Each structure stands twice: as structure tokens, then as C-alpha cells.
Amino acid sequence: MAQLSLKHIQKIYDNQVHVVKDFNLEIEDKEFIVFVGPSGCGKSTTLRMIAGLEEISAGELIIDGVCMNDVPAKSRDIAISRWSSRTTRFTRI
């Protein structure tokens, strides 16, 4: 586990749409958190930025005191779980 800090994180798409705006969060070692909110409020985008799957437009992502903004997803030693409210119907098992 690790300590994670999000400092003034922003995600702005090419069309100048702000998806995540000035988001700050401190997660201590072994702490468990949940993002809850309406569709389109930036939960998935924030998780994707933490995982390194989405570029951070502004701000800093810090894991154990090291800025991870430019560290590739494969090199980040973190565990993230995601659950979606979307249902999938399997027609063949």
C-alpha cells in the first residue's frame, strides 16, 4: 500500500470541457475510499488519471512522495478496483 495525494488535479479535454476541476485528496496508507456521484461528474476520469490511463491536464499526482504525472501506468505500483453500475447480459456461458 502507499500514500496518495492529488493536488489541484484537473482534466480538460481538447474542446475545453473541464471534466475534473481543482480536485484535492489525501489517501493515507491502508485507507479505503469510495467515489460516489452522478454520471458524468468525473469519478471514472479521476480513477483513470490515478492509474495512469488518462493524462493529467494540471496538478500533481503524488504517490509516496514521488510525483507520478509522467510515470507510465505499467510502472505505477498501485491497486485500483472499479465497479460500474452498468449491467451486462451474457447470452452464452
Task: Count CA atoms closer than 13 A to 74's CA, side-chain side.
Answer: 0
Q: Which value, in Å, is the radius of gyration of the alpha carbons in the chain?
A: 15
d(Cα 49, Cα 69) in Å, to the nearest integer?
9
d(Cα 33, Cα 26) in Å, to the nearest integer?
10
Q: What is the structure's pLDDT at 22?
A: 97
Q: What is the structure's pLDDT at 75?
A: 82
Q: Which amino acid is at 2?
A: A
Name the residue among 37, 49, 41 with its Cα closest to residue 73: 49
On whether the CB atoms of residues 61 and 10 are closer than 8 A, the answer is no
Which three three-digit cell numbers place residue 4? 496518495
Q: Return per-residue pLDDT of the chain as tens, 93 residues.
A: 579 999 999 999 988 999 999 999 999 988 988 899 998 899 999 999 998 999 999 999 999 899 999 988 888 777 676 666 666 677 776
Selecting from 3.20.20.70, 3.40.50.300, 3.40.50.800, 3.40.50.970, what CATH number does the domain 4-75 have? 3.40.50.300
Q: Where are the domains of the chain?
A: 4-75
